[in-house]
A and B are shown apart, each in its own frame.
Chain A
Amino acid sequence: QKEVEQDPGPLSVPEGAIVSLNCTYSNSAFQYFMWYRQYSRKGPELLMYTYSSGNKEDGRFTAQVDKSSKYISLFIRDSQPSDSATYLCAMSESSASKIIFGSGTRLSIRP
């Protein structure tokens, strides 16, 4: 079993919809949780960064961490065609430990 599981998709939704992307993990020691966005033929770029449990909001994006369920989510409100990309979750135990990436969910926003 992988340490981090992520549905590969593809996920296709109409413009303006609310998108929910999720990851589950098995290592209860993870404390740092990240979401990276990767456009086609580009490198990943950091989108959201959270520590421990709770929510973090940045514009149309909200990251949610539920450590009791070992489950993290990324919500995108008012989705735009420019949000079409692959979204990778990532997590680590501490700032000194390696980062474990999910395999990514491919998202397509239909105009």
Chain B
Amino acid sequence: NAGVTQTPKFRVLKTGQSMTLLCAQDMNHEYMYWYRQDPGMGLRLIHYSVGEGTTAKGEVPDGYNVSRLKKQNFLLGLESAAPSQTSVYFCASTEAGGWAKNIQYFGAGTRLSVL
């Protein structure tokens, strides 16, 4: 049972380059999320999706775009990377309804450095 899988695990970019982070879940969850984790800042929500074909902005969406073309996949894109986007990125998923929505299942993270 893979759960939530993130690729790649590590990446180094130069300022201005673009990349896409992939998140895949095999639990048939409706909701998916992208967070970034920075020292002293906790987990901050970038974008989220409440179902296939839907996306919404979170707390820190600027500089990122997302797509949810398939229920099991949630892609996070950086069109023009900046050093401020150096962070650890986590994807999470949850079931759709009730209190279970608060139980988030996380991937192992993608460590991104932008030089």
A contact residues vs B (CB 8 Å cutoff): 4, 6, 8, 32, 34, 41-46, 49, 51, 88, 90, 92, 95-96, 98-99, 101-104
Query: Would you call A101 and B58 a contact (CB within 8 A)?
Result: no
**Chain B residues in 8 Å Cβ range of A34:** 102-103
A60 CB, nearest partner CB in chain B, Å: 20
Query: Would you call A49 and B107 a contact (CB within 8 A)?
Result: no
Query: Would you call B41 and A44 a contact (CB within 8 A)?
Result: no
User: Of A6, A51, A101, which is in contact with the most chain B CB atoms at under 10 Å from its CB?
Assistant: A101
Is chain B's binding surface mostly helix, strand, loop or mixed?
A: mixed
B contact residues vs A (CB 8 Å cutoff): 4, 40-43, 45, 58-59, 90, 92, 97-109
Query: Would you call A95 and B99 a contact (CB within 8 A)?
Result: yes
User: Of A43, A99, A102, which is in contact with the most chain B CB atoms at under 10 Å from its CB?
Assistant: A43
Residue of B nearest to A6 (CB): B42
A104 CB, nearest partner CB in chain B, Å: 6
